[in-house]
Structure 1
Amino acid sequence: MGQQLDQLSIDVHRRAGSYRIQARGDIDQASVTELREALAEGVARTRGAIELDLSGATFFCCGAVAALMSARETSAGRLTLVGAAPVVNEVLRLVGLAETFGITGNDAHTPTTTTVVSL
């Protein structure tokens, strides 16, 4: 039997002045387009803050890293990482982007749901 994958689920919450994206499950090559589209929609639909919660991510591929970097650039500093699962922290550390996304020291191994980092 093959390994069960956690299907990606993305919830978007729009409030006056902010746009919050919560992603849960595997963010892999098959699903990263969903994350990329949600981020692009957030950039296009609000002039306010864009909050990204990845505390429920169970897999985080290199395409997801590229999606974060692209959104970071196009949002002109409005994107904030408000939660990151250990797998997200670890991947960002491995590709040398931990400090860019506010992950320092042992954070890559510590579950976090309250980290707030301006991107």
Structure 2
Amino acid sequence: MTASLCGGTLRVHVAGDVDLASAPRLKAMLDLSRLEGVYRLELDLSEVTFFSCAGITAVHGTRRDGLSLCLVAAAPPVTRMLALLPLSDRHLQAA
């Protein structure tokens, strides 16, 4: 996992499994979006090989007023999990 900040945009790139063991690290990366001046969070999940409900919980926890969440790319394990969510919980926008 890597994170980069450019202007008001935080871009987080995730590779490998997102499960109970790795979700706290993902949450810590996503929590960087709470820094002053960050208004957009871009998630690149194109290299994720497994995405559990722990990953959904980590992403869902970043929701706040004034922050735009954008899914830049998603691997099939991510899209399958996101498809299971009720429409009202799909707060990620496609890039």
TM-score normalized by structure 2?
Answer: 0.83
Alignment-mate amino acid for residue 32 of structure 2: E
Name the counterpart of 2:44. 53
Relative to total residues, which structure has the larger strand share, 1 or 2? 2
Task: Give the Cα–Cα distance (whole angstroms) in 1 for the partners of residues 29 and 36 of structure 2.
Answer: 10
Letter in 1 for 2:59: L
Please state whether the residue corresponding to 2:57 is helix, strand or coil.
helix
> How far apart are the structure 1 equivalents of 2:4 and 2:48?
18
Whose relative contact order is higher, 1 or 2, with alpha carbons under 8 Å and at least 6 apart? 2
Q: How many pairs align? A: 94
Structure 2 CA distance for aligned equivalents of residues 23 and 70 of structure 1: 17
Map Cα deviations across residues 16-51 of structure 1 (whole Å, 9 max, x no partner).
221110000000101100101100112225423211
Indicate the larger mover: 45-54 or 93-102: 93-102
Question: Structure 1: where are the runs of 5+ without partners?
Answer: 1-9, 103-114
Task: Letter of the 1:53 partner, please give it.
Answer: D
Structure 2, unaligned runs of 5 or more: none
Structure 1 runs (4+) deviating above 6 angstroms are none
Q: TM-score, normalised by structure 1?
A: 0.68
Q: Does the 8 A contact of 2:33 with 2:39 survive in 1?
A: no
